[in-house]
Chains A and B, each alone.
Chain A
Amino acid sequence: MTKDVVVTGADAVAPNGVGLETYWAAALKGVSAIQPISRFDATGYPVRLAAEIPPSDAESTFPRKLLPQTDRLTQLAMMCADNALAAAAVDPADLPEFGAGVAVSSASGGLEFGQQQLQRLWGTGWESVSPYMSFAWYYAVNTGQISIRNALRGPSGVVVSEQAGGLDSIAFARRRVRRGTPVMLTGGFDSVLCPYGVSTVSVATGVSHGTDPERAYLPFHSSSSGFVPGEGGAVLVLESRASAVERGAPVLGSVAGHAAAFDPDPSGSGGDGLARAARGALADAGLPAGAVDVVFADAAGSPDLDRAEADALTGLFGAGGVPVSTPKALVGRLMSGGSALDAVTALLSMRDGLVPPVPGLAPEEVDPRIDLVVGEPRGGEFRTALVLARGHGGFASAMVLTAP
């Protein structure tokens, strides 16, 4: 049945691990990548902490021709897509000419590249600006470059709703598969970790101005002081179950349900937008709330937003009714990359029967209504995961993923 859309491959590029299994091992160990910003001198900045992707060997294999045309994050997104295709054992050459498309969300485009060119324009003059500027900064850059690199000529799209964009893009890709495109690459990638980007985030509601890496981003804790920005994301390969079965592809899970909502007051009581999105996603999946085995929370890290999310979760599951995982507390908030990465993390949790923890802090500090996975991975059989995301401005999105 074409309605059943499955994930047959994925890859992740996260601050605590580049590559799917490297990231997953770090997440299970609770390895945090939050540290003082090292990419530039941020000593005078109100935001001093971030989760940066370290340089990796993989980057040395990136085609040299493309280096001057692309932001570093675009390069990482392209490598991530390569790996996701390989994991799914998809060779685009085997597909019909228009048989695969790309929908990778981005809220930042190639921002560092953009700042470099702004400096040339304002500091030197327009003639010194890169001829690649017209396509290296804008939000469709990762989707366009992945399409060209892999000769994917099918339907593409870039859905942007800040942190919610990763889930909304996976839902977009699911719609494309349901309407007949054999394979879709989807997910999200973002970075703000250049001087202008960090300056921009420094005035965002709810960003942490803390300087202690271990205490700066503590979702659902009474001492939470906001979120820490991170960078990276994930790419997933979606196709119909029939097609996956036919070619004997590994199946990580199904994209069983999705819904999105707008909430003009996301910190209001009841977490109304998030609750509506979650109920909508469950209805779309045809599952009751009781079927959910684990929740990957939006985990904003600021008291009012955390309380609103706890309200929503309690309304759905009752107090402590379901384990809640917040792996983004280890890698920061990655905007559209964050919810895509959470979706991948949820699939890996179901695959291995392990939910990743955050380092254990005093239990009395955690919202008593939330069964937060801390200290050690939580083991068990997880068949259904709910992933939640809220995007700055009022976006709410929810996705139900089910085990194969």
Chain B
Amino acid sequence: MARRAVITGIGVVAPGGIGTEPFWRLLVEGRTATRTITQFDASGHRCRVAAECDFDPLALGLTPQQVRRTDRVSQLAMVAAGEALADSGLEIDGALAERTGVALGSAVGGTTTMEREYSVLSEGGRNWVVDPSFAVPHLYDYFLPSSIASEVARTTGSLGPASVVSTGCTSGIDSVGYAAELIRDGEADVMVTGATDAPISPITVTCFDVIRATSARNDDPATACRPFDRTRTGLILGEGSAVLVLEELEHARRRGATVYAEVSGYAARCNAYHMTGLTAEGREMSEAIDLALADARVDPGAVDYVNAHGSGTKQNDRHETAAVKRSLGQHAYDTPMSGIKSMIGHSLGAIGSLEIAACALSMKHGVVVPTANLHEPDPECDLDYVPNTAREKRLDAVLTVGSGFGGFQSAMVLTSLERTAA
């Protein structure tokens, strides 16, 4: 019988609150966590708004040595992984440890610490031949994005296959897709998976400043990210992590675990078009959606909800609207589709997993979360984007999509076990 991968635990560190409960409350209430940047003095920058986490790793149980040897990007994931494991009720020990793997997404890894240390070694950008005598002992750990996976493997006691998946802004879908495939293919029974990013640093803010991808609505931080709204002016950076415990279905059933949803479909495509550009037609995203639905054996007309990429750029909103119409046909107009980046910003590689967590929680609660800051719909975007207010709706088949620099387009389908049984 085919092996199936199900979500049995969720852990979240997101702007607006630490833990799954505050995350869910924020989304359901349609509140936003975008604010003026506090993590560094961004006063000279074009965009001075981000969605930051109020995160104290020591207060959340990490040891001083764990904090010293890791970038914030790992710390967010370590805390989220702790909550996810506790939520699943799983003890990773004995024979299970070798059957438990780790796959975590991240777009930019430990960039924030790398930049901070660069500024020291280069004496504030003065010297090309930087001074290695100022290299701190754990600099190589900060440098390697794979440190995220090794730290989480260590803290969770996982001894199976471990890696980071780094496909830019689709990393958080691709990591969970990869984890689900390892379970389906029998390489692991449990995967600690998800994604993390902590990009709110001068260099990453600059990356988006210089290409004017971020919104410069600095005077109104709380409404700065407005997907599908005609007054949108760009994306808002965020940070955070969502970690899921993914488990082989029979393994979960044997121990009587509560199942949020099955990761039943996944596909990725590339547009091979441009490192940052998107086509107006959305053919490649549509292809990923079609394949993910086929993988999940879900008819396009049976999709109950679409979690949008919804980054807040005109190019994206039109691209994914076209892609969803192309795949769901007339049913697209009857399907609620909302974007949570309006509330928690775009945390690059992390956001895909935060969106999967949001989808799983939406299925559990029977609630569609809204798109915040949507008051003047873009006439070119004519689907049901669930403006500002959550709705009750039973959700048995949910689609989430993502786009990233590099041309990556990914789609994932979550389904309820009740749906499969019926």
Using known A-B contacts A148-B274, A203-B136, A203-B138, determine if residue A159 contacts B121 with beta carbons closer than 8 Å.
no
Chain B contacts with A in 120-179, Cβ cutoff 8 A: 121-122, 124-126, 128-133, 135-141, 143-147, 149-151, 153-154, 158-168, 174, 178
Cβ-neighbour of B408 out of A108, A123, A156, A260 (below 8 A): A156
Closest residue of chain B to A197 (Cβ to Cβ) is B143
B229 to chain A, nearest CB (A): 24
**A200 proximity list for chain B (CB < 8 A):** 114, 135, 139-140, 143
A198 interfacial contact with B, CB 8 Å: yes
A243 to B406, CA, bound (A): 28
* B125:A262 contact, CB within 8 angstroms: no
Using known A-B contacts A123-B124, A156-B268, A196-B122, determine if residue A144 contacts B206 with beta carbons closer than 8 Å.
no
A275 to chain B, nearest CB (A): 12
A155 interfacial contact with B, CB 8 Å: yes
**A98 proximity list for chain B (CB < 8 A):** 269, 284, 287
A34 interfacial contact with B, CB 8 Å: no
B396 interfacial contact with A, CB 8 Å: no
**A198 proximity list for chain B (CB < 8 A):** 132
Stretch at the interface among A17-25, A81-89, A114-122, A247-255: A114-122
A264 to chain B, nearest CB (A): 5
A interface residues, tally (CB under 8 Å): 84
Considering residues B98, B101, B136, B163, which has the most beta carbons from chain A within 10 angstroms of its beta carbon? Answer: B163
A225 to chain B, nearest CB (A): 17
B118 interfacial contact with A, CB 8 Å: yes
**B267 proximity list for chain A (CB < 8 A):** 155
A157 to B115, CA, bound (A): 26
Give the size category of B's interface with A.
35 or more
Chain B contacts with A in 16-48, Cβ cutoff 8 A: 44-46
* B130:A195 contact, CB within 8 angstroms: yes
B281 interfacial contact with A, CB 8 Å: no
Cβ-neighbour of A259 out of B121, B187, B268 (below 8 A): B187
B68 to chain A, nearest CB (A): 13
Chain A contacts with B in 178-233, Cβ cutoff 8 A: 195-205
**A262 proximity list for chain B (CB < 8 A):** 101-102, 150, 153, 158-162
* B121:A196 contact, CB within 8 angstroms: yes
Closest residue of chain A to B273 (Cβ to Cβ) is A148
Considering residues B128, B206, B267, B269, which has the most beta carbons from chain A within 10 angstroms of its beta carbon? Answer: B206
**A201 proximity list for chain B (CB < 8 A):** 140
A261 interfacial contact with B, CB 8 Å: yes
* B161:A261 contact, CB within 8 angstroms: yes
* B207:A155 contact, CB within 8 angstroms: no
A127 interfacial contact with B, CB 8 Å: yes
* A157:B128 contact, CB within 8 angstroms: no
A317 interfacial contact with B, CB 8 Å: no
Using known A-B contacts A98-B269, A119-B128, A134-B207, determine if residue A126 contacts B45 with beta carbons closer than 8 Å.
yes
**A391 proximity list for chain B (CB < 8 A):** 146
* B118:A118 contact, CB within 8 angstroms: yes
**B136 proximity list for chain A (CB < 8 A):** 203
B407 interfacial contact with A, CB 8 Å: yes
* A153:B272 contact, CB within 8 angstroms: yes
Chain B contacts with A in 45-104, Cβ cutoff 8 A: 45-46, 98, 101-102
B378 interfacial contact with A, CB 8 Å: no
* A139:B125 contact, CB within 8 angstroms: no
* B162:A160 contact, CB within 8 angstroms: no
Using known A-B contacts A98-B269, A122-B125, A392-B140, determine if residue A157 contacts B207 with beta carbons closer than 8 Å.
no
Stretch at the interface among B5-13, B209-217, B325-333, B365-373: B209-217
* A144:B407 contact, CB within 8 angstroms: yes
Using known A-B contacts A118-B203, A135-B275, A262-B161, determine if residue A161 contacts B149 with beta carbons closer than 8 Å.
yes
**A147 proximity list for chain B (CB < 8 A):** 270, 272, 406-407
**A162 proximity list for chain B (CB < 8 A):** 144, 146
Using known A-B contacts A144-B275, A158-B167, determine if residue A394 contacts B153 with beta carbons closer than 8 Å.
yes
Stretch at the interface among A38-46, A286-294, A325-333, A369-377: A38-46
A119 to B126, CA, bound (A): 7
Considering residues B122, B210, B405, which has the most beta carbons from chain A within 10 angstroms of its beta carbon? Answer: B210
**B213 proximity list for chain A (CB < 8 A):** 134
Using known A-B contacts A196-B118, A196-B130, determine if residue A157 contacts B270 with beta carbons closer than 8 Å.
no
Q: List 22 A-B contacts (CB under 8 A).
A: A115-B130, A119-B125, A122-B202, A131-B211, A134-B405, A140-B168, A144-B408, A148-B407, A156-B167, A156-B268, A156-B406, A160-B165, A161-B146, A168-B163, A195-B128, A199-B130, A200-B139, A259-B187, A260-B162, A260-B163, A263-B159, A395-B150
A interface with B by C-beta (< 8 Å):
40-42, 44-47, 69, 98, 101-102, 106-108, 115, 117-127, 129-135, 138-141, 143-145, 147-148, 150-162, 164-165, 168, 172, 175, 195-205, 259-264, 273, 276, 391-395
4 smallest beta-carbon distances between A and B, as pairs = A144-B406, A122-B125, A123-B125, A393-B150
Given A162-B146, A394-B154, A395-B163, 6 more contacts at CB 8 Å? A115-B130, A140-B405, A153-B271, A159-B178, A162-B144, A262-B161
